[in-house]
Amino acid sequence: MAFYVFVDGLNLYKGALSKRPDLKWLDLIELSKELMGKYPPAFIYYFTSPMKRRFSGDLSPERQATYIRVLGHQGIRIIKGKTVRYQKWLRHTEFERERFVQPTFPRLFGVSDYLIKRVWKASLPDAPKSKVELLSEKASDVNLASYLLRDVFQGLMDQALVISGDSDLFMPIKFAVEAGITVKVVIPSQSQPLGIIQTVASEVAYLTREQLESSQLDRPFQTPKGSLIYPPDVWR
C-alpha cells in the first residue's frame, strides 16, 4: 500500500516550528510514519522557496540550506518556488508606539507620544500608514496542488498525506478523493481552522508537539557517504 507525502514547508514552519527552534531539525520520514501508522512513505515532496536575507547578518538562508541538504540526502524531493521581496503602504492598527514599533524607541520626554498622536489625528477618519518591506512565497501551493493531482491521475499511489493548513488546497484534495485516493490532511497549527478542508479530505488531524518531538533527526545527521551535517546552533 503506497502512500505519498506532500509537505507545505512554509505552512509547516509557521504553524508548528517557528517558535520551537529545538524541533526544527525535523525528520520528515519519521514524522510521516508517525502520522500514517508507522509504515514508511513511498515518496515525499517538500515544497518550499529559498529564503532571502532580511537584514545584514541574517543567517536564515544558510540554516534553511543546511536543512534542505539533509532532506536531499534522505531522498526527499525538493520542489522550489520563489520568494519575492516588495514594499507596500499599510495602515497602522495601534497608535501606542510600544505596540507598532520594534525595537521601541525612547519617549523623549513625551515628544514621541505627542507626535504619534498628532499623526493619528491628522489621518482621521483613516489610519496612518507606514511603508513596509514584505517577503512573500510564490508558487509553493500551486506546485503542491499540481504534483498531487499529477501523481493521482498517473496512478502512483492509493493514499496521500498532505501536511498543510492552506484552505486553497480544497479543490485538488476534493479531486484526489473523488479519484479514489485516501487523503489525510494534517494541519500544523491548532490556531488554523479546519475550514472547508474537513468537508473533502478523508481524514483531518492537527499536528502535535509530541509527534514533532518523536520525529527528530540525529544530531549530527550522517549522510549515506558518512559525512556529518550538524544542525544550526540556534536550533539546539
The DSSP secondary structure of the chain, one letter per residue, reads --EEEEEEHHHHIIIIITT-GGG-SB-HHHHHHHHTTSSPPSEEEEEE-PPPP-STT--HHHHHHHHHHHHHHTTPEEEE-EEEEEEEEEE-S--SHHHH-SSPPP-TTTHHHHHHHHHHHHHTTS--EEEEEEEEEESHHHHHHHHHHHHHHTT--SEEEEE---GGGHHHHHHHHHTT-EEEEEES-TTS--GGGGGTSSEEEE--HHHHHTSBPPSSEEPTTS-EEPPPGGG-
Query: What mean pLDDT is reported for the chain?
Result: 90
* pLDDT for 101 beyond 90: no
Cα separation, 71 vs 68, in Å, equals: 5
Determine what percent of the chain is predicted with pLDDT higher than 90: 65
pLDDT of residue 33: 96
- How many Å separate Cα 131 from the centre of its chain? 25
Cα separation, 173 vs 149, in Å, equals: 8
pLDDT of residue 1: 57
pLDDT of residue 146: 97
Model pLDDT for residues 113-156, shown as the tens digit of each residue: 788 888 878 888 888 888 887 766 667 889 999 999 999 999 99
The grid coordinates of residue 178 equal 473523488
Decide: 228 and 70 in contact? Cβ < 8 Å.
Answer: no
Model pLDDT for residues 175-228, shown as the tens digit of each residue: 999 999 999 999 999 888 888 999 999 999 999 999 999 999 999 999 999 999
Mark residue 154 as left, alpha or beta (left: phi above 0; alpha: psi -120 to 50; beta: remaining). alpha
Torsion sign over Cα 145, 161, 151, 30: positive
